[in-house]
Chains A and B, each alone.
Chain A
């Protein structure tokens, strides 16, 4: 290996490690400094990410959830809207069938879509689409 040329290269980059002349103490010093720098940086970057994700949580999860819940509690005391008039024939009333589970599921879905508490409206009838 042409050491002179290598030294010229090194001089060009400015990063020269004269490892052949390192003593054991130099190696210990390098090991400690790079390890501390490395572990410290890794902890610092990931801790910063942790902090940012907590802020994230507040703005993109807690706050929207609070707003949603707030809306619900605000609208709760409002007088229930008058029940919509039952749709005339050919609607098949299923309430009469006492299928309470289906009614509960539909009520919950309507509540979600309208963003209104289930107490503010009443499902009086429903029919399967496409079946006339």
Chain B
């Protein structure tokens, strides 16, 4: 009887936690504090709660001793090298362990979150979320004022500045630096797709940094908006946008998919699904598909994505100087992207003789529609008669396409590379 009780006690999480080294115990406790903070930010402060809450809960599940529901190592080549040293060479396809082998291992030995994580590893979730975003997004403002596409391109400046910063720091290899840089695209699914491909070990830190900064856009952007624009510029009232014909709305997603994919094929999983969702919404004959993409499907995938990405942040890989540096570089990426968009919009304001309010530039960082709302709020503060929301939606959705193109460039440059 006593033996049974002792055996049971040894299987408890408390016994497993106390059985660790003191450093590991402290690290686990620090993780609980971080998880608690994320819960607070999501529930009380309402910072991106739809994603931050599942991410925080995924982190909690992964850091509960003995829960054994996630094994990150199953998704790395090194695990197979050590677990199957004799068969390893035969397992390789194009120099890497294929996802089919990982799936087999997950179903043989894995836990619940391992199964959910297959959707991240295969790139399924980011694309499906992009389809939902496409179905929810109105591209009319962009079609009516296509010049704003250039602002969306300029607002990717932070991506490459942060990439360069990470690389020059000497702490990150080019693949990791690219994953950190893409935080500046202010687009969660894009950041996740790039990171799961190039630097899966950093996925937890990068996803949390990306979503936290996206939630903090109303705090991060206004100081730069005020610093880089004059009161007169912020007060500019822009001309009403023209009407967009139904033909334009329907041809737009097809055309964007073709053009972007012809030039940057690696952006196809993101741009293609973004535009598919949009086509569902605008064509007028697929209302049911549009509603599914916007609601049920997007919500289900958001839960799976959030929980499985959160689970990648365990104490051993999350509590490191690298994570701290990722958070700092992520802030740099966001700030420089905001400045890039603002300065380019300022240039356009100058070239058009004051017809463009530079405040719409900050919306080029993507983060739909929060960045556009910030432009609207700041514009109304300067001039209560100002209504910039629709004008800012142009650069805002251009930023989504721009960050997907930037991600495509990183993927085509580094995907499949091996760092030695």
A residues whose Cβ falls under 8 Å from a Cβ of B: 1-3, 5-13, 15-20, 24, 27-28, 30-32, 34-35, 37-39, 41-50, 52-54, 56-57, 60-61, 64
Does B401 lie within 8 Å of A46, measured CB to CB? yes
Does B168 lie within 8 Å of A31, measured CB to CB? yes
Does B418 lie within 8 Å of A54, measured CB to CB? no
Interface string of B369-413 (1 = CB under 8 A from A): 000000000000000000000000000001001100110011001
Interface string of B167-187 (1 = CB under 8 A from A): 110100111011000000000
**Contact residues of B between 61 and 94, Cβ < 8 Å to A:** 77-78, 81, 88-89, 92, 94
Does B150 lie within 8 Å of A50, measured CB to CB? yes
Q: How far is the CB of A13 from chain B (nearest CB, A)?
A: 4
Does B92 lie within 8 Å of A1, measured CB to CB? no
Q: Which of A42, A52, A54 contacts B156 (CB 8 A)?
A: A42
Does A45 lie within 8 Å of B260, measured CB to CB? yes
Does B147 lie within 8 Å of A50, measured CB to CB? yes
Q: Which of A5, A17, A18, A56 contacts B88 (CB 8 A)?
A: A5
**B115-123, B221-229, B241-249, B354-362: which lies at the A interface?**
B241-249
Interface string of B91-105 (1 = CB under 8 A from A): 010111000000000
Q: Majority SS of interface residues in chain A? A: helix
Provide the residues of chain B in CB contact with A42, threshold 8 Å: 153, 156, 402, 405-406, 409
Q: How far is the CB of A33 from chain B (nearest CB, A)?
A: 9
In the complex, besides A5-B81, A43-B154, A46-B398, 19 extra interface pairs with C-beta distance below 8 angstroms are A9-B418, A10-B420, A13-B417, A19-B173, A27-B170, A31-B163, A34-B178, A34-B413, A39-B156, A39-B157, A41-B264, A42-B405, A42-B406, A45-B264, A48-B263, A49-B149, A49-B255, A49-B259, A60-B247
Provide the residues of chain A in CB contact with B89, threshold 8 Å: 5, 8
Q: List 7 A-B contacts (CB under 8 A).
A: A34-B160, A34-B163, A38-B410, A50-B147, A53-B143, A53-B149, A56-B255
Provide the residues of chain B in CB contact with A12, threshold 8 Å: 92, 94-95
Provide the residues of chain B in CB contact with A9, threshold 8 Å: 77, 92, 95-96, 418
Q: How far is the CB of B149 from chain A (nearest CB, A)?
A: 4
Quick one: closest B residue to A13, CB to CB?
A: B95
Q: A12-B92, A16-B417 are in contact. Are A60 and B248 (CB under 8 A)?
A: yes
Does chain A have a CB within 8 A of B152? Answer: yes
Task: Give bound CA distance, A39 to B417, whole Å.
Answer: 21
Provide the residues of chain B in CB contact with A19, threshold 8 Å: 173-174, 419-420
Q: How far is the CB of A64 from chain B (nearest CB, A)?
A: 7
Task: Give bound CA distance, A10 to B417, whole Å.
Answer: 7
Does B413 lie within 8 Å of A17, measured CB to CB? no
Does chain A have a CB within 8 A of B256? Answer: yes
Does A35 lie within 8 Å of B163, measured CB to CB? yes
Does A47 lie within 8 Å of B418, measured CB to CB? no
Q: How far is the CB of A121 from chain B (nearest CB, A)?
A: 27
Quick one: closest B residue to A5, CB to CB?
A: B81
Provide the residues of chain B in CB contact with A47, threshold 8 Å: 149-150, 153
Does A17 lie within 8 Å of B420, measured CB to CB? yes
Does A39 lie within 8 Å of B147, measured CB to CB? no
Q: How far is the CB of A24 from chain B (nearest CB, A)?
A: 8
Provide the residues of chain B in CB contact with A35, threshold 8 Å: 160-161, 163-164
